[in-house]
Amino acid sequence: MIGRKEDVMKNQLSVLVLASLIFGILSGGEETMMDQKTMNPLTPEEERVIVHKGTEMPFTGQYHDFFEKGRYLCRQCDAVLYKSEHKFASACGWPSFDDEVPGAVKRIPDADGIRTEIICANCGAHLGHVFEGEELTPKNLRHCVNSISLKFIPAEEIPQRAKAYFSGGCFWGVEHLFEQHEGVVSAVSGYMGGNKENPSYEDVSYRNTGHLETVEVTYDPDKVTYETLARYFFEIHDPTQKNGQGPDIGEQYHSAVFYNTEAEKKAVQKLISILKKKGYDVATRIFKAVKFWKAEDYHQDYYEKTGKQPYCHAYQKRF
């Protein structure tokens, strides 16, 4: 197969790549469906509340009268749910929040037919209930949450910048589109996942190094969540195409996500599950992040330098 981008830069690299070569990194793809094995272990009491939708006694939870600066995570999957700025004193006996991290909490009708239950959008863990119209804050909203469903991370332990790694074909287009996303600080083209240190473009394209063309996305977690970026990734490339993206054919162009944490892995697994249920034959692989190698300078900000537009990447709503 011929790995190509645009003739202007790559016609000198039109060397045949044998399709029969086994791409090392792709031979060890991980399971992409969430299951209980990927969740944090729970105590019997945590399971009673989180899994079986129980309720802790009022005024007994760890966070009901707690107002330190930081973030509140789902105890079962570590997804970030609330910021300390969302928390307020409601005197109801449970932690109360008048907002949430965008997309982190899902509302569903309660089994009692009256209330609205709130669950973690990432793993389905029971959090509590949501109430409106109480006029307790200007937002007129109260997420009434069980302390036992939460974890707290102090502000000083929250990273001000985070990194995410996505492989979706030619890194020019992936980099270009991510740089336009809100909350993204920078996007850098490079290589990840292979067996050669400090690889060149020629190495990755024609010497079976096992590397994928990968984009390192640096973002502000206070402005955009990892799951939001992962959703965007699945909507700016074709996750069903194997060993290529558009006209760029070669195993180095395979769709993949490299995760840093279990929470990131679970978020990607969830998104792939949603796409499969929608009928997409997702080819995207999931791998643990390893060392990222920055690509040559002429690959960085290619479309900004040339004034051209991506030829095999464009936004397409899929969720």
Whichever domain contains 18, its CATH number is 3.30.1060.10
Residue 20: predicted pLDDT: 29
Examine residue 100 and state whether it is found in any structural domain, yes or no.
Answer: yes
Number of structural domains found in the chain: 2
Residues 63 and 15 in one domain: no
The model's pLDDT over 219-231, given as tens digits with 9 standing for 90+, comes to 998 789 899 999 9
* Residue 184 CA: distances (Å) to CA of 42, 175, 214, 312: 34, 11, 16, 21
Examine residue 316 and state whether it is found in any structural domain, yes or no.
Answer: no
Catalytic residue ranges: 144, 170
| Per-residue exposure over 157-168, b if at least 16 CB sit within 10 Å of its own CB, e if not | eeeeebbbbbbb
- Model confidence band, residue 263 (pLDDT cutoffs 50, 70, 90): confident
pLDDT at 299 over 80: yes
The model's pLDDT over 279-290, given as tens digits with 9 standing for 90+, comes to 999 999 999 999
- Model confidence band, residue 38 (pLDDT cutoffs 50, 70, 90): low
Q: What is the mean pLDDT of residues 167-187?
A: 96
Examine residue 15 and state whether it is found in any structural domain, yes or no.
Answer: yes
For residue 167, the enclosing domain spans: 7-30+159-306
Calpha distance 300→150 (Å, rounded) = 41
Examine residue 153 and state whether it is found in any structural domain, yes or no.
Answer: yes
Contact 104, 79 (CB under 8 A): yes
